[in-house]
Amino acid sequence: MPTPSRSPAIAPPAGHQPVLCREVIDLLAVPRGGCAIDATIGLGGHAALLLDELGPDGLLIGMDADEGNLELARENLGPSAKVRLFHGHFENIEEVLKDVGITTVDTVLADLGISSNQLDDPARGFSFSTDGPLDMRMDRQLPTTAADLVNKLSQTELADLIYHNAQERASRRIARAICMARHDQRITTTTQLADIICKALKQNPDSHRSKIHPATRSFMALRIAVNRELEALEQFVQALPRILKPGGRAGVISFHSLEDGLCKRAFRKMKTEGCVNIITKRPITPTAQERRENPRSRSAKLRVVERTSTD
């Protein structure tokens, strides 16, 4: 079990509260003077902790699909010769390592999903609670927005997407309502889509009858599709045995059951093949205190594996 550890050298940046900090540092056992890659550096909160562990002779590589967040990480971490930052998708992690001139690292961290500043920015279109363009791209260079999917996919394709990516049981009703609404007018904003979903489910988001907003699952499903999150995670996880040094550790923090299930299955298969040892027999979740202090941490699950010394 994780034990209490020292606090970070750099205070967590405003705009996003990193989750499971103590657990990440305790379980990743970052070697002093080693090399770590934060594959989803976000605003640099976890990265600051990793840097602290690496010490003055270590190297931290950071990457993010969102160029805006990468800039924030750069500002928050400050200029340093021991930090190299790259705009990129973690499914291409091996290309980033190649750019640095290395093939393996001691530590890998991926903190999946979106950061609070992305969620809270209406212009990014991730949230149903504020009006904004229906975008949802983490990387603005991606060709397809959520509005494209909502307006172009067939009713069956939409229903399948919403069901498979978020297990929304009312997916068919929602897809039908979307197709009827877009017949009259293109769906371009977050609140427009949220209203359509609420009406389809005959639910008032303010009634607090259910714990979550009626559009929560549909929005999540669209975000997963726009950013090809599951395919990317599968590719990233498969690369871990190739990019970890013997004894090196990788941690993945996930926020929904599809991501966590994917990691669990992949890690078990790697263990069977003798590539890794599983450090977390069960996923590590936030303490009650962390959940209270940072409600957005409540669904976080951390799984850690260690590369075996021989294949």
Q: Which residues bind ligand SAM (CB under 6 A)?
A: 16, 18, 39-40, 42-46, 63-66, 69, 89-90, 111, 113-115, 138, 227, 232
SS3 197: helix
The CA distance from 80 to 60, in Å, is 10
Residues 289, 14: Cα–Cα separation, whole Å: 20
Closest approach, Cβ 43 to ligand SAM, in A, equals 4
Q: Which residue has the tokens 């903190």?
A: 111
Measured from the CB atom, the residue of 42 and 205 that comes closer to ligand SAM is 42
CB of 200 to ligand SAM, least distance (A): 29
Smallest distance, Å, CB 265 to ligand SAM?
Answer: 19
Residue placing its CB nearer to ligand SAM in the complex, 201 or 221: 221
Half-sphere exposure of 180 (CA within 13 A, CB side): 10
Q: Residue 92 CB, nearest distance to ligand SAM (Å)?
A: 8
2 token code pair: 């994780």
Map residue 276 onto helix, strand or coil.
Answer: strand
Closer to ligand SAM by CB, 92 or 190: give it. Answer: 92
Of 276, 232, 270, nearest in space to 254 by CA? 232
Look at the block and give the residue holding tokens 């427009």: 192
Token output for 265: 């299955």
CB-wise, 196 or 236, nearer to ligand SAM?
236
Smallest gap from Cβ 90 to ligand SAM, in A, equals 4
Nearer to ligand SAM, 159 or 232 (CB): 232
Buried-state track 228-250, b at ≥16 Cβ within 10 A, e below 16: ebeebbbbbbebbbebbbeebbb
Strands 244-254 and 301-307: antiparallel
C-beta of 8: minimal distance to ligand SAM in Å? 10
Which residue is closest to ligand SAM by CB? Answer: 42
CB nearer to ligand SAM: give 35 or 96: 96
Handedness of CA 31, 298, 111, 9 (dihedral sign): negative
